[in-house]
Structure 1
């Protein structure tokens, strides 16, 4: 049984690793971006209880899975279910480079142009990782990593090994 959490800064390679694990290990995949936000402008977080219900539905529906995201508040809810975790702790500049070169994410953006229009904001967000004091911060991710007592891996580069 494999139940993997992948987390880190935006642009760190969470989705790339999660998709690779899904292909090689036949795992179900959940990107927390798909359930963490309300469809409002400006975007607002979904109440945590609603996100948790959607997460529980996913984990109850799949024996083997990988869940990825930057939401330590949501990931914390899964620590007792996970068999392993991966903290994508890449340098800020590498995350920015990855963000600039990411393929279109149709589950997040209506078009490649919409995704590109969001790039400057995303780069600013990535740059704030070290200084933020919220559930998206490096500090919150480090605490999550240290709290987990199972199999864990800290990745500081985009090498292809898992």
Structure 2
């Protein structure tokens, strides 16, 4: 059974939903990489340096099995090597755009929690990150190429059949 799982995808792809589900199913702790980048302190959120982020990741790795989920960030790329299984959650662009708007609305209504302030600025940033991801997709796919032997591609976070076959 794979013990270290890296779930990768862009904003609103379904990474967190899948990570929570697999964590419960496999009884493995999961970690949001955004929470590793942004440390909650009594003074508010503090951004860790890339070196500090990698240090936190390596500490968690030394403590046993894990599930990490996050977007593609240089400081996370060590996880491609560390993971036994890499899952790319990659729903169609139209679906992600709808999810971004829906998520923001749910957060504004208090139906869903977030680690950030749900406002117009954040909404615009999420759409910008999505645009940037799509415009850099070729280089992203090239970075994944060496890991194809342990990569599962899902078009939706609910497509667990491929994952459970391997686990």
TM over 0.5: yes
More helix by share: 2
Q: Which residue among 114, 118, 128 is the counterpart of 1:124?
A: 128
Distance 1:64 1:44 in 2: 27
Contact 1:11 1:126 in 2 (8 A): no
Distance 1:90 1:49 in 2: 31
Q: Does 1:9 align with 2:10?
A: yes
Aligned counterparts, 1:13-52, within 5 A? 13-37=14-38, 46-52=48-54
Q: 1:6 to 1:58 in 2, by over 3 A?
A: same
Distance 1:37 1:140 in 2: 26
Aligned counterparts, 1:80-119, within 5 A? 80-102=81-103, 104=107, 106=113, 108-109=115-116, 114-117=117-120, 118-119=122-123
Task: Count matched residues.
Answer: 149
Distance 1:91 1:44 in 2: 33
Distance apart, 1:38 and its partner CA? 6.8
RMSD across aligned positions (CA): 2.5
What TM-score results when the alignment is normalised by the length of structure 2?
0.75
Q: What per-residue deviation string (whole Å, max 9, x for no partner) do you get for residues 50-69 of structure 1?
A: 111111111112x2211111
What TM-score results when the alignment is normalised by the length of structure 1?
0.77
Q: 1:123 to 1:14 in 2, by over 3 A?
A: same
Distance apart, 1:121 and its partner CA? 2.7
Asked which structure has the greater CA Rg, the reply is: 2
Q: What per-residue deviation string (whole Å, max 9, x for no partner) do you get for residues 67-120 of structure 1?
A: 1111342332122321100112222211111222235464513xxxx3244223
Aligned counterparts, 1:137-156, within 5 A? 138-148=137-147, 150-156=149-155
Structure 1 residue runs without a partner (length 5+): 133-137
